[in-house]
Amino acid sequence: MNKETMTSRERVLAALNHTEPDRVPIDLGGNQTGIHKFAYLELLRHLGMQDEMRIMDAVQQLAQPCEELLRRFHVDTRYIAAGAASDWKGGIVQERRDGRLWHDLVDEFGVRWSMPDDQPYFMDITLHPLAGAAISDIKDYPFPKGDDPGRFQGLRERALLLKKETPYAVVSGISGVIYETCWYMRGLENWYMDMMMNPEFCEALLDQTLQFWLDWFRVFLDEVGDVVDVIMIGDDLAGQGGPLFNPDTYRTIVKPRQKRLVQYIKGRTQAKIWYHTCGACAGYIPDLLDNGIDILNPVQISAADMDPAVLKREYGDRLSFWGGAIDAQHILPVGSPEDVRQAVRENLQALKPGGGYVFNNVHNIQAGVPPENIVALYDAAYEFGFYR
C-alpha cells in the first residue's frame, strides 16, 4: 500500500534537489500549468463540486482552481503573484469593431489583448503600440515602472500565510518575460524583420524590458525572496519543429539579457528558477543551464527531439523537468481515459527516476478536454508516482 511520508513542500524540494521523494510532486493552477475556464466548469460538474468562477489569467482565460479540487488531485503547489502598478487603470472594456463585440484589455506596456464575445476562449493581440516606432521612439515610450510599490502590497503577508500555515510549496506567478514582451509591443512579423535587419532596435527594446524585470525583482525579492520555493520566468523560444528564430540571434542578443536576470535572481534567493518555453527546445537546454535555470517547463513531448527518456538521460542530473506528463495534442483531448492512464504511466517511468520531476500536463488544460481524461491524468499521477 503506497503511503505518503512527506509534506507537499518537502516533496517538491526533494524532487527539485534531485533526490527521490515519497512520490512525484503534482502541480495544477499556474499560468502555464492551469486549466481553461470551460474545462474547469465541466470538470466541476463531473466531480459534483461547486465553485464560483474566478479568472486568474484573463489572456488565457484560466480558472483559479478551488481548494477542494486541488486536494482531490493531491496537488502539492500553491501560487502567489504580484499585482499591477498602482496607477494602472486595467480592467476589461467592451468595444464593437468590424461587426463584433470585443472584450479588450490594455496591459501596462500598452499592448491591447482582445477576445470576441461570440468566441470567448482566450485573448489575442489586436494592437502593437510600437509597430511603427523607430529606435529613437523607444527612450520616450512610457514604459511601466517595475518597482512600483503598489504591485507588492500585501504580497509578503500572503506568501507567509502559505509558508507558515499550509504544507504546500510556494510558487510565484509567471514573471521575467524579457523577449516575448518585445514582440508583443512591436508585432511578431516586425520583430522578426528587426532581428535580421535592425538588431540595434531589438537590443534597445530588450534593454528596456530587462530593466523593467530587474526593477521588479529587486522589490519582489525584498518582499518574498526568503519565502518562495520556486520562481517562474519564461520566454517561448521554440515551435513544434524547432527554434522560432535563428539560434545565433538568440545567443547574441537575447541570451545575455536572460542570463543577467537569472543570475541576479539567484544571487538573492535560494528559490529554484523555473523557465518556460514551449516547443522543440532541446537544442537550447545547454544555453538555459548556462543561464542558471534549474527547471524546464512544459516539456512538450510531442515536439521534435523532446523524447522524455532522452531528455532525462542527457540532462536529468542537472535539470528538473516540470510537465511532460502527456501528449496534450493527440492523447489528452481525444484519447480514452485508459489511453491517458497508460501514457502517464510510461512518461512517469521515463521522468521520475532519481527525482528531478514535477508532474503536470504539457501547458494548460484546454477547453474541450473531457473531464474523464482530466481525472484519469491526475489519478494516474498519484497512483504511479510513488517511488517505494
CA distance 125 to 184: 7
Q: What is the DSSP string of 102-157?
A: EEEEE-TTS-EEEEETTSTT--EEEE-TTTT--HHHHTTS-PPPTT-GGGGTTHHH
How far is the first Cα of the chain from the last one, in angstroms, to the nearest whole number? 9
Task: Indicate if the pLDDT at residue 24 is higher than 80.
Answer: yes
242: left (phi over 0), alpha (psi -120 to 50) or beta: left
Q: Could you report the per-residue pLDDT of 226-285, keeping only the tens digit for each?
A: 999 999 999 999 999 999 999 999 999 999 999 999 999 999 999 999 999 999 999 999
pLDDT of residue 215: 98
Rounded Cα gap, residues 13 and 272, in angstroms? 9
pLDDT in tens, 135-168: 999 999 999 999 999 999 999 999 999 999 999 9
Res. 298: pLDDT tops 90: yes
The residue-averaged pLDDT of 300-318 equals 97
Domain spans in the chain, listed from the N-terminal domain onward: 8-85+139-384
CB atoms within 10 A of CB 231: 28
* CA distances from residue 80 to 16, 40, 207, 279, 318 in whole angstroms, order as listed: 19, 20, 27, 26, 26
Asked whether residue 1 carries a pLDDT value surpassing 80, the answer given is no
What's the CA gap between 110 and 126, in Å, rounded? 11
Give residue 388's pLDDT band: very low, low, confident or very high (50, 70, 90): confident
d(CA 126, CA 349) in angstroms, rounded, equals 43
**Pairing between β-strand 93-97 and β-strand 100-106 as defined by DSSP bridges:** antiparallel
pLDDT at position 2 is 87
Q: What's at 8, amino acid-wise?
A: S
pLDDT score recorded for residue 90: 83
| pTM for the structure as a whole | 0.96
Q: How many other CB atoms sit within 10 Å of the CB of residue 259?
A: 16
For a pLDDT cut of 70, what percent of the chain falls above it?
A: 100
pLDDT-derived band at 351 (thresholds 50, 70, 90) equals very high
Q: For the segment 34-74, what is each residue's pLDDT rounded down to a tens digit?
A: 999 999 999 999 999 999 999 999 999 999 999 999 999 99
C-alpha cell at 88: 494602472
Strands 124-127 and 112-116: antiparallel
Rounded CA-CA distance 142/232 in Å is 26
Please report which confidence band the pLDDT of residue 119 belongs to, taking 50, 70 and 90 as the band edges: very high
Say which CATH class 8-85+139-384 falls into. Answer: alpha beta
Q: Side chain identity at 334, as an amino acid letter?
A: V
pLDDT score, position 89 = 85
The mean predicted confidence, pLDDT, of the chain is: 97
Comparing CA positions, the residue from 125, 223, 163, 224 lying closest to residue 7 is 163
Q: Give the pLDDT confidence of 197-220 residue by residue, as tens digits.
A: 999 999 999 999 999 999 999 999
